[in-house]
A and B are shown apart, each in its own frame.
Chain A
């Protein structure tokens, strides 16, 4: 499909990257799938503008960019409430809106949550490296020159014939998540659960952990009561995935996120389930998380429900397409 110049970056914001649902198939070569931190908000930003749920969007961190549009489009912002402002007028989150050539879109900054997602009709076009558009900054792949946006960048989108969801399309409020100060993350037991003392496991599941300032696209370092090991904290390097909770010898958990390493050498106490990754993506430094264990069957049932919801939503939105 043809790429078109969509907008010019007047200000880049704190850390803005092009992201999609990730680049799979390269993990055995040490290349992380990366992709959006919040898969739910990614999917809805796309669906609200009539795209495939996995298309490329802008992932905005706390402070958004200022963008000058060079062509008309339909857009939607989901995720953290960053207070989008179009030509000086506040516009709603989780609702599609029209942008005209010459318009300026900026953001006041996140009131709650960490990351927002700007979807545009047709989807953003990054450097199409290795069958994906998303940016993996650690390896300088994809997006705009493999890095976060900078002032003066021009961003492209896919043009051509697109069925668009009409501007003003909103979601039922039940579909819009809140981002509370305390989040409960549901997890499965990790492969090295038995490397911890009984007491450590009780602590892990019954106490609160605070998100430290070391929280980025690679992982969230938490701080709480020390988790003691019954066996060594170092393991032979083994696979790690989105949501893997590692505990090194110091006894503090780290939740591995989108830009994680593909393998790691620390004990894995648990793994956040897929449907709760979006919650983990939105917790801020200083906020707290706790962990609740569920079964694999529960995790898969929740995934099934979420995918069913997405499908029915896609059908409903398609009915409104012009």
Chain B
């Protein structure tokens, strides 16, 4: 690989630039370097944030200098490392009704029956490129273009946590109650962000989400199981192309 562009973001962070556009390949490079940072435990490196095209590394410049960290990043970015396989999380979703008030609009805009919208939306695995915006909010890639729908002209003041939405050619899940302008087509009972848990955020960049349609009965059942602590989000290992079941 050519030397990567590495530059400061303020005086306590450095950004490694892997490309200029969203691609699965770029994401794999970023995931690989993230993994190596986790493995290497470089002194002075505090944490790192993967985004669509960059990995931003937060460091203490009085422990490790910009130039030595820059050199390390160039070196590590060349390697591929023994990155573990990605996970595909299965998120149960109740589509439509009060929990998906914009399902009708998405159907009409795209000339599809609402059953077809659900089928298309739940047929693919979506790569989590990054988390941001709010705690645990996943930026997903790979939505079928037949579902593309412009954002609401007037954003809602409050969108419930777990709401599954479409904005333009993107799909996503609201991780906390927040204002928002996405078209809401359904809701998952699973909490993407739960500060009471030892691992407060369920998802990780580089993994995948797959939505599984459930009935209202099942939604309520899962909600109860979540409250009792008896429900666990299932996952397989693999990528969007092919998944190998986990024993």
> Which residues on A are within 8 Å of B, measured CB to CB?
24-31, 129-130, 138-141, 146, 188, 190-191, 236-244, 261-263, 268, 271-274, 296, 299-300, 303-304, 307
Contacts and interface: CB of A to CB of B under 8 A. Distances in A.
A239 B15 contact: yes
A185 to B, nearest CB: 12
Contacts of B8: 188, 271, 296
B4 to A, nearest CB: 14
B52 A237 contact: yes
Nearest to A275: B11
Interface string B192-205: 01011000110111
Given A28-B47, A28-B205, A244-B9, 13 more contacts: A27-B58, A29-B136, A29-B201, A130-B200, A139-B134, A140-B195, A188-B10, A188-B11, A236-B52, A238-B51, A261-B132, A271-B10, A274-B12
Contact of B51 (A140, A239, A268, A307): A239
A242 B10 CA distance: 8
B17 to A, nearest CB: 8
Contacts, number: 132
Interface size class of B (residues with CB under 8 A): 35 or more
24 contacts: A27-B47, A28-B131, A28-B204, A29-B136, A30-B134, A30-B135, A30-B136, A30-B175, A139-B176, A188-B8, A236-B22, A237-B132, A238-B15, A238-B52, A239-B15, A244-B9, A262-B49, A262-B131, A272-B10, A274-B11, A274-B12, A303-B62, A304-B62, A307-B62
A238 B22 CA distance: 12
B193 A139 contact: yes
A263 B51 contact: yes
A205 B40 CA distance: 40
A19 to B, nearest CB: 17
A146 B177 CA distance: 15
Contacts of A25: 46-47
Contact of B135 (A29, A274, A296, A303): A29
A191 B136 contact: no
Contacts of A300: 11, 61-62, 65-66
A141 B200 CA distance: 11
A145 B200 CA distance: 16
B53 interface: yes
B9 A26 contact: no
Contacts of B136: 29-31
A130 B52 contact: no
B54 A239 contact: yes
From A30, A130, A239, A272, name the one whose CB has the most chain B CB atoms within 10 angstroms.
A30
B10 A191 contact: no
A28 B200 contact: no
Interface in B97-132: 130-132
B54 A146 contact: no
B47 A24 contact: yes
Nearest to B11: A299
B195 A146 contact: yes
Interface string B145-169: 0000000000000000000000000
Contacts of B13: 239, 241
Contacts of B211: none
From A25, A242, A271, A296, name the one whose CB has the most chain B CB atoms within 10 angstroms.
A296
B126 to A, nearest CB: 16
A273 B175 CA distance: 32
A27 B9 CA distance: 15
Nearest to B195: A141
B92 interface: no
B9 A241 contact: yes
Given A24-B58, A262-B49, A241 B135 contact: no
A263 B49 contact: yes
Contacts of B27: none
B194 to A, nearest CB: 11
A24 B34 CA distance: 16
Contacts of B195: 129-130, 139-141, 146
A304 B134 CA distance: 33
Nearest to B46: A24
A236 to B, nearest CB: 5
B9 A191 contact: yes
From B11, B48, B61, B134, name the one whose CB has the most chain A CB atoms within 10 angstroms.
B11
B171 interface: no
A261 B54 CA distance: 17
Contacts of A141: 195
A168 B154 CA distance: 57
